[in-house]
Amino acid sequence: MSGECPVCGQKMKIMSGITNEHITGDEKDLFVKKCSHCGSYYLFVFIEAKLSSGENIFSFRIDLEESEAKNLLDVMEKCPEKAYKRCTCPAHKILDQFDYSNKDRRVILKDEMDYW
C-alpha cells in the first residue's frame, strides 16, 4: 500500500485501521492515512481475494475531505475489535457503506489477477 502522499510525495501516517469482510469472505483492510506535510487525508483499501480461478490483489484509495476523515476516524475508534473481520459493531457496516457509496471516487492502485 502506498506510503507517499499523492499530493506532495511526503510520507503518510496511518491514523487508524479496521478489517472488514469482503463479499468473498476474505479480509478487507481499510486504513485512514494523513500526510503530516500537506494535511491531506485518504482512505486506503486492500483486498486479497482468493477465488476458484486464482487470487486477486486489489487496492485503491479514496481522497477524503478533512470532515470525512474525522468522521471515519471517530467511527473506527469506537470498534472494540478492529482486527476481527466479523465484528458486528456499527463501524464495519458504516465503512463498507462509505466505500460502496463512493466507488466513483476510487483511485485504483493495484488490480492483479493471478491465474493458477
Provide the pLDDT for residue 30: 95
Position 5 in a domain: no
First-to-last C-alpha distance (Å) of the chain: 24
Q: Does residue 34 contact residue 24 with C-beta atoms inside 8 Å?
A: no
Position 66 in a domain: yes
- Please state the domain count of the chain: 1
Q: Does residue 75 contact residue 98 with C-beta atoms inside 8 Å?
A: no
Provide the pLDDT for residue 114: 55
Overall pTM > 0.85? yes
Position 41 in a domain: yes
Position 25 in a domain: yes
- Three-state DSSP at 68 gives helix
Position 116 in a domain: no
Position 1 in a domain: no
Chain center to CA of 30? 3
> Which tens digit of pLDDT belongs to each residue from 24-66?
788 899 999 999 999 999 999 998 877 766 777 889 999 999 9
Give the other-Cβ count within 10 Å of 104's Cβ.
Answer: 6
What is the helix (H) or strand (E) element at residue 99, kind and residue range?
helix 90-101
d(CA 4, CA 7): 9
Provide the pLDDT for residue 94: 94
Q: Across the chain, what does the average pLDDT equal?
A: 89
